[in-house]
Amino acid sequence: MTQKSRGQRRLVPVERRTPIDVSIVAKRVPSFPIISRVDVSAVERWRQSLKDQGKRVGWSALLAHAYGQVSLEIPELRDVYVARPVAYVYRHPEPIASLTIHRSDSAGKERLIWARIPSPQALSLEDLQAKVDYYSTAPIEDFFKDGLRLERRLAIIRRLNWYLLMRWSGRKRAKHLGTFSISNLGHLGGLNLHHPIVTATSLAMGPIQPDGHCDLALISDHRVLDGVLASQAILILLDAIRNATYNN
């Protein structure tokens, strides 16, 4: 009789601990997506013209810059809901972008890291793209020390840390996690509508179609934002993206 081969069981890799922890705490965030089909053909032509000049500005940098400006115009986008000890809403004084970046670490393992950029709207698109490039290529130990330190701790310590960060201090949550995040898979042909969020809002962009349109999604924490305001934010965001390209 031929013996069936059995699968293998292994411990969770250290580099997967943070995404798992984020997924667990994000279950308590009642989020909803608003999706708009937008025309970005003019912006894409501008991006291509930069390539002809030997320059590059990616969509993540564009979105971070423009949404930072929108967050100043719509202060609710900088709100954080805090449940303990008494429920309250905290408003951070500046937008902080949290970019989800998939890259290799020093050991050659594929992983996710989160890069925080305070007040991205105050930077030029070139400087902002330089920061994105730095976070995508520099040694992770140079800028993700707290995250690496936390993921090496026992699960109970990590969960307690996340619990306190998410439910007890709006200021620390905004400072360490950002006021908004960006998860962009459009260049890979995907639109990530249901990724876990630990910020008030999160942007996702789909692939650009031949006619210059794409799906732009804003995923929001329903405790601080409603659908009407989220829809308005997307409309203002598109204008902010176009203005950013005109001014550069």
**110-125 pLDDT tens trace:** 999 999 999 999 999 9
Question: Cα 185 from chain centroid?
Answer: 11
Radius of gyration of the chain (CA): 19
Domain contains 227: yes
Domain contains 1: no
Query: Residue 207, Cβ neighbours under 10 Å: how many?
Result: 13
Range of the domain at 134: 14-246
- 212: alpha, beta or left? (left if phi > 0; alpha if psi -120 to 50): left
Contacts of 61 (CB under 8 A, 6+ apart): 125, 128, 129, 131, 132
DSSP code string of 24-90: HHHTTS-EEEEEEEEE-HHHHHHHHHHHHTT----HHHHHHHHHHHHHHHSGGGGEEEE-SSS-EEE
- The structure tokens listed for 244 are 């950013």
What is the tally of structural domains in the chain? Answer: 1
What's the mean pLDDT in 86-93?
Answer: 92
Q: The domain that contains 188 carries what CATH number?
A: 3.30.559.10
Question: 139-158, pLDDT tens digit by residue?
Answer: 999 988 888 899 999 999 99
Domain contains 2: no
Domain contains 93: yes
Please tell me the distance from the alpha carbon of residue 131 to that of residue 38, in angstroms, as a whole number.
Answer: 27
Domain contains 3: no
Q: Which CA distances in Å does 206 have to 59, 91, 180?
A: 11, 29, 18
Q: Identify the DSSP state of 95.
A: -
Rounded to 5 degrees, what are φ and ψ at 154? -65, 155
Q: Which residues of 159-179 are buried (b: 16+ CB within 10 A; e: fewer)?
A: eeebeebbbebbeebbbbbbb
Give 211: exposed, middle or buried? Use CB within 10 Å, 0-12, 13-18, 19+: exposed
Domain contains 197: yes
Question: 63-72, pLDDT tens digit by residue?
Answer: 999 999 999 9
Domain contains 9: no
Share of the chain above pLDDT 70, in %: 98
Domain contains 75: yes
Give the per-residue pLDDT at 12. 87
For residue 86, pLDDT over 80 is answered with yes
